[in-house]
């Protein structure tokens, strides 16, 4: 785009004789009117102007006016304003005439404006003004706006006023302004009346236009209309009517810009502003703009003083959903704002224990050694024949819980009791179910992170590696699953012989159906050490029909940072394999497992086990004991022999006592009762002796049953034999009960009298348990029974075939039995005596 200079020459105009007479050609005023550069904005202004011309909207017509203001102001210069008006006047005069002619040609206001534009261009270019007819023809080019249509009115044909020192535009505006003058008292009556009519019409047009303009959003338009409608002076000041000469050039050279006074700022409409902003992405604004501070996204700490110990006044509940909501697993569960300040008073009053987070109070020392030969797997993997064997022997165990939503699957849940995990298949409860430990563990593991996983390996000072908690665990909450390779016993033995023969630690645990979990390649649970006072327990559960083992928190729960432990409870089988226990508990047994051949310690251990077995919870422990013991047993026994470990029977001393008591009680109460009842009692008594076998106590047996050797010996082999024999005894003892012979009867009577001493009475021997064993074959019970029989029905008693014991002794002398036994025997004797007397 080139800058064009329009030269306004006043020399060669024939219609300006005065000017030529006054001024020489040298004096010719030549003004370099720098035209506006055709910037995109300007070009748009042109375009929009054209468009506006094409538009039929009155608003646009009004806006067009403002566009033209721009154009006019851009085309003027200050120098032009300073030019003596006289010089221009001749030309202006001709223009004036032209204007008048135009006015006469009854053109509308818009056509007049068009004509002005044409004149202006002709002035600039120095060309002759077109004829009015030509202009009239040009009018065809002017779009018919409402204004132009409504302006087709006769124009005043008043004589040309004398030329004044006004610009062409001012002159034109004067013509227009005259139209605006509604009430001009100076007007002649005729012209006034005409003008009034005309003016009034035009005025209405202008008013209409101004109304439209008032509605327009342009600030400039509003201002102008507001002023223009008031009086003529104001109208003359309107920007649209300002002489172009006064309008500053839009673009100037830097020098000109510096010298020239600050051009009056153009009023800019909002739309223009947005355009400008789009065009010029003002860099200084960006510089000034203060840098917005970048806030780091808030990160919630997942562990702290009270991690996993959300405050609650309610007692701990079994329901998993409630517990999990209470304990929370991090920031996600914190849906409410923290408690208000005064809520702390409750804490002060009630107090609450806490522990420092594990990584603060007990951080792992730097350079913590890591277990080398640990291949990790978090799933059970069947190896070799294990899978097929397991499938073949698989029992389809089905269990459906009957819990309802109110209770959830709490500790009374049938599935829970049987160590069956609830799922959608066997439990109709959804999230309310509290018996989905393994599924909870799965979610935790999936979430990841130290807190969710909850455990980590540590190196202990004297027990190799161990495991500690990274968080607190609720009582009975699942902690970690014990996983590894599931192998058959055969495979286990092979490994023990070939692979692990030099190992110090074995990670073998009895699992299910004679399968073994070998956690040499397994989960972190394999590092959990033994303790005689453990805080966890190992449990076997059936999950979706498959057995799985996991470590659960004990009844006291687990605090953050504690080392996890459970009772291995194994039987070493051999003294060689006994390991020293370094658990440090007050009640430490001293070895890993029960002390062998320790009379004081052993029953104690047995007592603990049986005590635990009495309650459902301890039933779990009993189960643990089995699994844990098997694990240890495997690891220990296979060191010495490759033979499969033998199952050790747990002895139940409690049952012995109760069995004896039962018998005695029945025997005592049997006084005066029928024979049938007695015989039943006898049979029961015989039966009841079977549990006592486990106590390694030889209990008296009824002769008919004596065919069956119901003796219990301390050695395991004999116990097994007895086990085989025992089932037959009760049936036989009842059905083959014979009546005592006459001789026996005699002896019993004599015994009852206490007169006849028993011949060749041998001294009772003490057995290993310390109980004196009588050399008799017939027990006290049998004798008592026989005595009772004879007392009740002597005839029958006589015919009874109760075999007399080869070696008998007075019941009173049988010191080895308990006092209750003695009493019972005495009672029996008394009964017999009484019966005899009455007879
Ligand atoms: C299954 S591993 C336990 C992890 C083992 N500490 C490690 O470093 O891999 C069992 C072995 O740990 C040791 N152990 C576990 N508990 C123990 C305790 N209370 N006292 C002494 N040694 C123990 C014994 O050597 C035992 O054979």
Q: Sorting pLDDT into bands at 50, 70 and 90, what band is 215?
A: low
Is the CB of residue 171 less than 8 Å from the CB of residue 161? no
Return the pLDDT at 347.
Answer: 79
585 pocket-lining for ligand 1 (C-beta < 6 Å): no
**Phi–psi pair at 598, nearest 5 degrees:** -115, 105
250 pocket-lining for ligand 1 (C-beta < 6 Å): no
464 pocket-lining for ligand 1 (C-beta < 6 Å): yes
Q: Sorting pLDDT into bands at 50, 70 and 90, what band is 557?
A: very high
CA of 616 to the centre of ligand 1 (A): 29
Q: Sorting pLDDT into bands at 50, 70 and 90, what band is 33?
A: very low
463 pocket-lining for ligand 1 (C-beta < 6 Å): yes
Burial class of residue 550 (count of CB atoms within 10 Å of its CB; 0-12, 13-18, 19+): buried
Helix (H) or strand (E) holding 765: strand 765-766
Return the pLDDT at 543.
Answer: 92
CA–CA gap between residue 404 and residue 415 (Å, rounded):
13
Burial class of residue 225 (count of CB atoms within 10 Å of its CB; 0-12, 13-18, 19+): buried
What's the chain's average pLDDT?
59
CA–CA gap between residue 686 and residue 710 (Å, rounded):
10
620 pocket-lining for ligand 1 (C-beta < 6 Å): no
CA–CA gap between residue 569 and residue 531 (Å, rounded):
9
Q: Give me the mean pLDDT over the 544-563 stretch.
A: 92
Choose which residue among 505, 524, 549, 563 to substitute to test ligand 1 binding: the one with the highest number of ligand atoms within 8 A of its C-beta: 505
Q: Is the ipTM of this complex over 0.85?
A: yes
Is the pLDDT at 383 greater than 90? The verdict is yes
CATH code of the region 375-640: 2.170.270.10
CA–CA gap between residue 409 and residue 386 (Å, rounded):
33
Geometric angle at alpha carbon 615, from 613 and 620, rounded to 5°? 60
Return the pLDDT at 525.
Answer: 96
**Phi–psi pair at 473, nearest 5 degrees:** -125, 140
Q: Which of 19-23, 269-273, 485-489 has the highest mean pLDDT?
A: 485-489
Q: Give me the mean pLDDT over the 45-57 stretch.
A: 38
Q: What percent of the chain shows pLDDT beyond 70?
A: 30
154 pocket-lining for ligand 1 (C-beta < 6 Å): no
Considering only 331-335, 380-384, 583-587, which range has the smallest mean pLDDT? 331-335
Choose which residue among 462, 464, 566 to substitute to test ligand 1 binding: the one with the highest number of ligand atoms within 8 A of its C-beta: 464
**Phi–psi pair at 408, nearest 5 degrees:** 65, -175
Choose which residue among 368, 530, 576 to substitute to test ligand 1 binding: the one with the highest number of ligand atoms within 8 A of its C-beta: 530
Q: Sorting pLDDT into bands at 50, 70 and 90, what band is 560?
A: confident
Is the CB of residue 788 less than 8 Å from the CB of residue 670? yes
Q: What is the DSSP letter of 804?
A: P
Considering only 151-165, 179-193, 436-450, 701-715, which range has the smallest mean pLDDT? 701-715
467 pocket-lining for ligand 1 (C-beta < 6 Å): no
CA–CA gap between residue 511 and residue 508 (Å, rounded):
9
Is the CB of residue 541 less than 8 Å from the CB of residue 438? yes
Return the pLDDT at 324.
Answer: 54
CA of 528 to the centre of ligand 1 (A): 8
Return the pLDDT at 693.
Answer: 35
For residue 632, which atom of ligand 1 is closest to its CA? Answer: 27
CA of residue 344 relative to chain centroid, distance: 28
Whose alpha carbon is nearest atom 11 of ligand 1? 505
Helix (H) or strand (E) holding 399: none
Q: Give me the mean pLDDT over the 738-756 stretch.
A: 58
Is the pLDDT at 539 greater than 80? The verdict is yes
Return the pLDDT at 346.
Answer: 79
The residue extents of the domains of the chain are: 5-147+164-261, 375-640, 653-838
Return the pLDDT at 584.
Answer: 92
Return the pLDDT at 665.
Answer: 65
Q: Give me the mean pLDDT over the 509-535 stretch.
A: 91
Q: Give me the mean pLDDT over the 699-717 stretch.
A: 34
Residue scoring higher pLDDT (442 or 73): 442
Return the pLDDT at 96.
Answer: 57
Return the pLDDT at 646.
Answer: 39
**Phi–psi pair at 779, nearest 5 degrees:** -85, 170
Spatial neighbors of 199 by CB under 8 A, at least 6 apart, are 178, 179, 180, 181, 182
Residue scoring higher pLDDT (191 or 527): 527
CA of 530 to the centre of ligand 1 (A): 6
Q: What is the DSSP letter of 770?
A: S
Q: Give me the mean pLDDT over the 169-191 stretch.
A: 54
CA of 442 to the centre of ligand 1 (A): 27
Q: Sorting pLDDT into bands at 50, 70 and 90, what band is 209?
A: confident
Is the pLDDT at 55 greater than 50? The verdict is no
482 pocket-lining for ligand 1 (C-beta < 6 Å): no
CA of 492 to the centre of ligand 1 (A): 19
CA–CA gap between residue 423 and residue 544 (Å, rounded):
7
Whose alpha carbon is nearest atom 22 of ligand 1? 463
CA of 421 to the centre of ligand 1 (A): 30
529 pocket-lining for ligand 1 (C-beta < 6 Å): yes
Considering only 225-229, 282-286, 315-319, 734-738, which range has the smallest mean pLDDT? 734-738
631 pocket-lining for ligand 1 (C-beta < 6 Å): no
Q: Sorting pLDDT into bands at 50, 70 and 90, what band is 313?
A: low
CA–CA gap between residue 111 and residue 137 (Å, rounded):
10
Choose which residue among 456, 524, 529 to substitute to test ligand 1 binding: the one with the highest number of ligand atoms within 8 A of its C-beta: 529
CA of 495 to the centre of ligand 1 (A): 19
63 pocket-lining for ligand 1 (C-beta < 6 Å): no
User: What would you report as the CA-atom Rg of the chain, rounded to the nearest whole angstrom?
Assistant: 60
Q: Which residue has the tokens 């008032």?
A: 214
582 pocket-lining for ligand 1 (C-beta < 6 Å): yes
Residue scoring higher pLDDT (652 or 425): 425
Considering only 240-249, 290-299, 516-525, 743-752, which range has the smallest mean pLDDT? 240-249
CA of 505 to the centre of ligand 1 (A): 7
Tens of pLDDT, residues 89-144: 444 445 555 556 555 554 455 555 665 666 666 555 555 444 444 444 444 444 33
Q: Which of 74-78, 343-347, 564-568 has the highest mean pLDDT?
A: 564-568
Could you tell me the sign of the dihedral formed by the alpha carbons of 136, 142, 146, 147, in that order?
negative
For residue 565, which atom of ligand 1 is closest to its CA? Answer: 16
CA–CA gap between residue 655 and residue 663 (Å, rounded):
12
For residue 526, which atom of ligand 1 is closest to its CA? Answer: 1
Tens of pLDDT, residues 658-696: 555 665 565 555 444 433 333 333 333 333 333 333 333
Residue scoring higher pLDDT (685 or 206): 206
CA of 485 to the centre of ligand 1 (A): 20
527 pocket-lining for ligand 1 (C-beta < 6 Å): yes
């Amino acid at each position: 785009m080139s800058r064009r200079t329009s030269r306004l020459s006043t020399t060669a105009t024939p219609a300006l004789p005065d000017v030529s007479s006054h001024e020489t050609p040298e004096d010719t005023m030549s003004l370099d009117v720098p035209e506006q550069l055709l910037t995109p904005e300007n070009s748009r202004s042109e375009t929009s102007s054209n468009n506006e011309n094409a538009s039929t909207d009155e608003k646009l017509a009004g806006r067009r006016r403002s566009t033209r203001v721009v154009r006019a102001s851009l085309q003027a210069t200050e120098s032009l304003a300073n030019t003596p008006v006289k010089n221009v006047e001749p030309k202006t005069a001709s223009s004036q005439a032209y204007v008048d002619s135009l006015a006469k040609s009854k053109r509308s206001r818009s056509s007049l404006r068009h004509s002005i534009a044409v004149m202006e261009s002709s002035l600039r270019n120095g060309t002759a003004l077109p004829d009015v007819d030509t202009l009239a023809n040009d009018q065809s080019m002017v779009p018919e706006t409402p204004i132009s249509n409504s302006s087709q009115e006769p124009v005043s044909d008043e004589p040309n006023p004398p030329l004044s020192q006004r610009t062409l535009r001012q002159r034109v505006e004067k013509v227009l302004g005259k139209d605006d003058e509604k009430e001009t008292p100076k007007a002649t009556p005729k012209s006034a009346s005409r003008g009034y009519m005309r003016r009034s019409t035009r005025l209405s047009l202008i008013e209409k236009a101004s109304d439209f303009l008032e509605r327009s959003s342009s600030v400039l338009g509003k201002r102008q209309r507001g002023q223009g409608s008031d009086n003529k002076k104001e109208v003359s000041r309107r920007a649209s009517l300002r002489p172009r000469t006064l309008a500053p050039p839009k673009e100037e050279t830097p020098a000109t810009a510096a010298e020239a006074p600050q051009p009056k700022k153009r009023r800019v409409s909002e739309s223009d502003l947005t355009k400008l902003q789009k065009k010029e992405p003002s860099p200084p604004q960006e510089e000034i703009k203060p840098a917005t501070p970048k806030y780091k996204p808030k990160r919630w700490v997942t562990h702290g003083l009270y991690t996993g110990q959300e405050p609650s006044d309610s007692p701990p509940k079994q329901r998993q959903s409630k517990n999990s909501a209470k304990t929370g697993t991090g920031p996600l569960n914190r849906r409410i704002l923290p408690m208000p300040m005064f809520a702390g008073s409750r804490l002060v009053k009630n107090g609450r224990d806490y522990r420092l987070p594990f990584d603060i109070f007990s951080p792992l020392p730097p350079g913590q050694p890591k277990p080398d030969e640990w291949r990790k797997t978090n799933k059970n993997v069947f190896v070799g024949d294990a899978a097929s064997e397991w499938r073949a022997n698989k029992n389809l165990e089905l269990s459906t819980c009957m819990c309802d939503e109110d209770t959830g699957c709490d500790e009374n849940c049938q599935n829970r009791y049987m160590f069956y995990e609830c799922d959608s298949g066997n439990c109709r409860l959804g999230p309310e179910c509290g018996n989905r430990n393994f599924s909870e563990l799965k979610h935790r593991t999936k979430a990841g992170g130290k807190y969710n996983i909850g455990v980590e390996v540590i190196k202990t000072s004297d027990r190799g590696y161990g495991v500690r908690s990274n968080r607190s665990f609720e009582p009975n909450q699942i902690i970690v699953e014990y996983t590894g390779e599931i192998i058959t016993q055969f495979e286990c033995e092979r490994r023990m012989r070939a692979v692990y023969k030099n190992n110090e630690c074995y990670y073998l645990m009895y699992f299910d159906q004679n399968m073994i979990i070998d956690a040499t390649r397994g989960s972190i649970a394999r590092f959990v050490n033994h303790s005689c006072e453990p805080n966890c327990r190992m449990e076997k559960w059936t999950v979706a029909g498959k057995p799985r083992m996991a470590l659960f928190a004990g009844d006291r729960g687990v605090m953050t940072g504690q080392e996890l432990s459970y009772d291995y409870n194994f039987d070493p089988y051999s003294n060689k394999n006994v390991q020293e226990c370094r658990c440090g508990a007050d009640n430490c047994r001293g070895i890993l497992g029960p002390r062998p051949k320790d009379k004081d310690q052993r029953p104690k251990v047995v007592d603990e086990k049986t005590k635990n077995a009495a309650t459902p919870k301890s039933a779990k422990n009993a189960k643990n004991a089995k699994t844990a013991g098997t694990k240890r047993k495997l690891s220990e026994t296979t060191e010495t022999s490759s033979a499969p470990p033998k199952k050790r029977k747990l002895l139940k001393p409690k049952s012995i006592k109760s069995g004896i008591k039962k018998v005695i009680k029945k025997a005592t109460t049997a006084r005066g009762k029928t024979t049938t009842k007695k015989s039943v009692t006898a049979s029961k008594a015989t039966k009841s002796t079977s549990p006592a076998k486990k106590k390694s106590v030889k209990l008296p047996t009824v002769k008919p049953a004596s065919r069956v050797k119901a003796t219990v010996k301390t050695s395991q082999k004999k116990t097994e034999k007895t086990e085989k024999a025992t089932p037959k005894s009760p049936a036989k003892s009842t059905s083959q009960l014979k009546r005592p012979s006459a001789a026996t009867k005699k002896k019993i009577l004599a015994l009852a009298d206490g007169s006849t001493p028993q011949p060749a009475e041998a001294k009772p021997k003490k057995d290993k348990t310390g109980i004196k064993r009588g050399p008799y074959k017939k027990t006290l019970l049998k004798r008592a029974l026989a005595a009772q029989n004879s007392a009740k029905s002597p005839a029958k008693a006589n015919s009874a075939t109760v075999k007399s014991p080869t070696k008998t002794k007075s019941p009173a002398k049988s010191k080895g039995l308990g006092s209750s036994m003695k009493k019972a025997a005495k009672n029996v004797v008394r009964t017999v005596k009484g019966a005899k007397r009455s007879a």
